[in-house]
């Protein structure tokens, strides 16, 4: 591959804040890299750590979790519960040998489209610097062929 | 009133001895300069005598259980030491009571009241309340002047009265808990509490109120001298990142009203120090134009300091307002005045977070109660059956508070008429066969939707209370909880789709 490495980042967004912030970024024509692919959950509290691991295992190079600012959760305090899980997950990632920077938590309110777009861009650059993950890729994923082709799969 | 007029019973729970709130303390209301008492007190009386309204004053909600249509509310009715069913409200006890104390609630520390008192003449209900802390009988075991002089039979004064705790069953709840005033002492450079003639906006309201402590005379703290010049400082505690970032909405208009009242009553020179004039809404800007024409001075700039340290001739015995006039190219000005009024901002009630917790709703970082949707649903909350109105939701003026109250009432009436309840389809439910009864999920729900059946050792989710956040779904270690639209399979299928290399 002659051009630079394009990481794939999965973003889990909260229906009430960051999903709308991303929407706002879109409607106000704020650009962010296409590497981030978003998924909507009703609340960041729905975030099961399994989803993060499945995403990383399925070929994602990074995962971005976004939720409402502490104290502004639509469901009172569920983002705080996510925060607890996130902290534990970070520890677990280290044990798995994955750079904890690959999973990031960002607070963004529905009005912070620009802020969120900036965070997306930052995250993409950070993961790009870390390089591809290619972690535990199951054979049916498309990423594996690409990995072998580029010779990166064997290294990791 | 709206709900009661539709024929449904209403319980009105009020913390203070009388209903009326802050508006009862005001003299005039902007922009029409209606007398606040003239428009408010007839309404208060109508509420007081309404057959469908049960008024519970001196009362607070202790606990809320249940869900929409089935709330059980525990109320503590504090002892008034006056029997409401006997008292005629004649006021003799108040006259005979030998103890006078500073009234720091209704008269914000400017006036006096007795140890047995009604907060103000038109209080509803009309029964007085005995202040246990200052009562001679409670302090020294004798006096009982109020009981001796009470003309009713049987005697209305009851020193043995205890707090009553009881439960009521309601279907919907409206929270209209109002606001607290920003404590101007926090901005020490404005000198409130240190310099005698610096007043807060509420103090000034009481000063110019004809039934207030000075009978409506605008005078300095000594009680006799009329000020010859008055400075009004806007945005005290609002629009300031050190205190509150938000705009308190009412202070610009309130300051204009003060400026007008000072001009009209005593003809003093008035200086307004503002950041921006915010006179949106009907007839507000017209009022601003009118005050401009009356010859009130407007200085755009944030006041740096209020001081009594005179530096120049003409500043002796005055309060000097140091300000940067941004319309004169940032020139530093020192303006000597006799009286300073601080247009103190609005803050959420000091206990709004506990109140929000009690009712299972959320409040913003500042403490204002959070509505379901900031534009499309400003009166409902995330908890079904609980509505908010007035300044509890955010700073607002009287017309907006009234509108929001009526809107909340309409929503409640609509709910009652519907008889059935339409809920959002996103809900979680427990697959009983899989539930191991570990109870891990029991503590994660902020809406108390998760119930544990001790007899069967399984958990169940009440669909009327569940809001569909999905936290319990993610928490369950045995995948026994599943959420409609966002179950694990659906989420993982989506994820798979996102991971396809393009």
CB-CB neighbors (< 8 A) of A72 in chain B = 362, 364-365, 370
pLDDT at site B197: 94
Identify the CATH number of the domain defined by range A9-150.
3.40.50
Q: What is the pLDDT of residue B426?
A: 86
The SS3 assignment for B258 reads helix
Rounded to two decimals, the pTM is: 0.76
CB contact under 8 A, B471 and A8: no
Could you report the per-residue pLDDT of A105-129, keeping only the tens digit for each? 999 988 888 999 999 999 999 999 9
Check CB contact of A54 with chain B, cutoff 8 Å: yes
> Which secondary-structure segment (H or E) carries B336?
strand B331-337
Q: Is the pLDDT of residue A100 over 80?
A: yes
HSE, side-chain direction, 13 A CA sphere, residue B27: 26
**Chain A environment of B362 (Cβ under 8 Å):** 72-77
Nearest chain A CA: its distance from B235 CA (Å): 25
3-state secondary structure B92-110: HHHHHCCCEEEECCCCCCC
Interface test with B, best of A40, A47, A48 (most B CBs within 10 A): A48
Distance in Å, alpha carbon of A118 to nearest chain B alpha carbon: 21
Cβ within 8 Å, pair B473-A46: yes
What pLDDT sits at residue A151?
A: 46
DSSP state of B397: -
How confident is the model at residue B353, as a pLDDT? Answer: 86
CB within 8 Å: B501 and A76: no
Would you call B467 an interface residue with chain A, using a CB distance cutoff of 8 Å?
Answer: yes
- Tens-place pLDDT, residues B159-196: 999 999 999 999 999 999 999 999 999 999 999 999 99
Residues of chain B found within 8 Å of residue A41, distances taken between Cβ atoms: 470, 486, 491
Confidence at residue A138, expressed as pLDDT on a 0 to 100 scale: 55
Residue B376 sits at the chain A interface (C-beta within 8 Å):
no
Q: Is A78's CB within 8 Å of B496's CB?
A: no
N- to C-terminal Cα distance for chain B?
A: 62
Q: What is the pLDDT of residue A145?
A: 47
Measured CA to CA, the distance from residue B360 to residue B355 in angstroms comes to 8
**Please, what's the b/e burial string for B269-297 (b: 16 or more CB within 10 A of its CB; e: otherwise)?**
bbbbbbbebbbeeeebeebbeebeeeebe
- Of the candidates B446, B494, B499, which has its C-beta nearest A76's C-beta? B446
Residue of B nearest to A56 (CA): B499
Q: Which domains can be identified in chain B, with CATH numbers?
A: 80-159 (no CATH), 183-346 (3.50.50.60), 428-499 (3.30.70.20)
The answer for B144, left when phi > 0, alpha when psi is -120 to 50, beta otherwise, is left
CB B469 to CB A141 under 8 A? no
Is residue A135 within 8 angstroms of chain B, CB to CB? no
Predicted local distance difference test score (pLDDT) of residue B412:
93
Q: What pLDDT sits at residue B10?
A: 94
Assess whether pLDDT exceeds 50 at residue A155.
no
Q: Quick count: other Cβ atoms within 10 Å of Cβ B230?
A: 26
Q: Give the minimum alpha-carbon distance from B178 to chain A in angstroms, rounded to a whole number.
A: 20
Interface contact A76, partner B, CB < 8 A = yes
Confidence of residue A154 (pLDDT cuts 50, 70, 90): very low
Distance (Å) of CA B242 to CA A114, B107, B239, B345:
25, 29, 9, 13
Interface predicted TM-score (ipTM): 0.82
- Å between A16 CA and nearest CA of chain B: 10
Which residue ranges of chain B lie beneath pLDDT 70? 502
Q: Which residue reads 């498309």 in tokens?
A: A142
pLDDT at B59: 94
Q: What rounded mean pLDDT belongs to chain A?
A: 84
């Amino acid at each position: 591959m002659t051009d630079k490495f394009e990481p794939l980042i999965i973003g889990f967004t909260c229906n009430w804040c960051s999903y709308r912030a991303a929407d706002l970024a879109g409607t106000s024509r704020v650009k962010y890299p296409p590497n981030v692919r978003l998924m909507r959950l009703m609340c960041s509290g729905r975030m099961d750590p399994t989803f993060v691991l499945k995403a990383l295992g399925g070929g994602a190079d990074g995962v971005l979790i976004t939720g409402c600012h502490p104290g502004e959760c639509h469901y009172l305090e569920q983002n705080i519960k996510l925060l607890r899980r996130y902290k534990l997950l970070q520890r677990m990632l280290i044990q798995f040998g994955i750079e904890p920077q690959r999973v990031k938590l960002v607070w963004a309110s529905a009005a912070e489209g620009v802020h969120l777009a900036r965070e997306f861009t930052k995250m993409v650059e950070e993961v790009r610097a870390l390089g591809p993950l290619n972690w535990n890729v199951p054979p049916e994923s498309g990423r594996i062929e690409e990995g072998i082709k580029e010779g990166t799969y064997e290294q990791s | 009133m709206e709900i009661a007029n539709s024929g449904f019973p209403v319980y009105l729970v009020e913390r203070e001895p009388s209903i009326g709130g802050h508006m009862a303390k005001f003299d005039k209301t902007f922009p029409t300069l209606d007398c606040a008492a003239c428009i408010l007190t007839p309404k208060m009386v109508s509420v007081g005598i309404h057959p469908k309204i049960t008024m519970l004053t001196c009362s607070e909600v202790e606990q809320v259980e249940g869900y929409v249509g089935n709330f059980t509310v525990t109320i503590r009715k504090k002892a008034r030491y006056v029997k409401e069913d006997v008292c005629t409200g004649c006021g003799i006890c108040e006259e005979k009571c030998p103890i006078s104390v500073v009234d720091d609630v209704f008269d914000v520390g400017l006036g006096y009241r007795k140890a047995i008192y009604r907060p103000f003449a038109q209080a509803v209900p009309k029964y007085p309340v005995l202040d246990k802390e200052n009562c001679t009988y409670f302090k020294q075991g004798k006096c009982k002047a109020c009981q001796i002089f009470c003309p009713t039979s049987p005697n209305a004064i009851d020193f043995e009265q205890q707090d009553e705790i009881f439960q009521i069953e309601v279907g919907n709840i409206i929270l209209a808990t109002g606001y607290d005033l920003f404590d101007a002492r926090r901005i020490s450079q404005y000198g409130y509490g240190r310099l005698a003639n610096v007043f807060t906006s509420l103090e000034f309201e009481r000063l110019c109120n004809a039934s207030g402590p000075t009978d409506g005379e605008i005078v300095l703290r000594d009680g006799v001298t009329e000020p010859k010049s008055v400075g009004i400082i806007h945005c005290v505690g609002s629009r300031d990142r050190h205190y509150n970032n938000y705009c308190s909405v009412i202070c610009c208009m309130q300051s204009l009203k003060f400026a007008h009242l000072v001009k009209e009553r005593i003809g003093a020179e008035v200086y307004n120090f503002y950041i921006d004039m915010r006179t949106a809404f009907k007839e507000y800007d017209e009022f601003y134009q009118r005050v401009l024409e009356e010859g009130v001075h407007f200085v755009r700039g944030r006041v740096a300091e209020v001081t009594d340290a005179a530096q120049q001739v003409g500043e002796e015995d005055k309060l000097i307002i140091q300000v940067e006039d941004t319309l004169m190219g940032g020139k530093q000005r020192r303006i000597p005045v006799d009286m300073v009024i601080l247009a103190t901002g609005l803050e959420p009630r000091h206990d709004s977070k506990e109140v929000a917790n009690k009712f299972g709703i959320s409040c913003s970082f500042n403490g204002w109660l959070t509505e379901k949707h900031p534009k499309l649903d400003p009166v409902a909350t995330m908890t079904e059956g609980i509505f908010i109105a007035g300044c509890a939701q955010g700073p607002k003026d009287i017309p907006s508070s009234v509108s929001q109250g009526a809107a909340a009432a309409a929503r409640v009436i609509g709910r009652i008429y519907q008889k059935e309840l339409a809920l959002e389809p996103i809900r979680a439910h427990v697959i009983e066969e899989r539930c191991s009864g570990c109870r891990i999920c029991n503590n994660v729900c902020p809406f108390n939707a998760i119930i544990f059946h001790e007899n069967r050792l399984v958990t169940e989710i009440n669909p009327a209370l569940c809001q569909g956040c999905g936290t319990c779904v993610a928490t369950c270690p045995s995948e026994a909880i599943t959420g409609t639209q966002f179950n694990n399979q659906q989420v993982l299928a989506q994820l798979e789709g996102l991971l396809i290399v393009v």
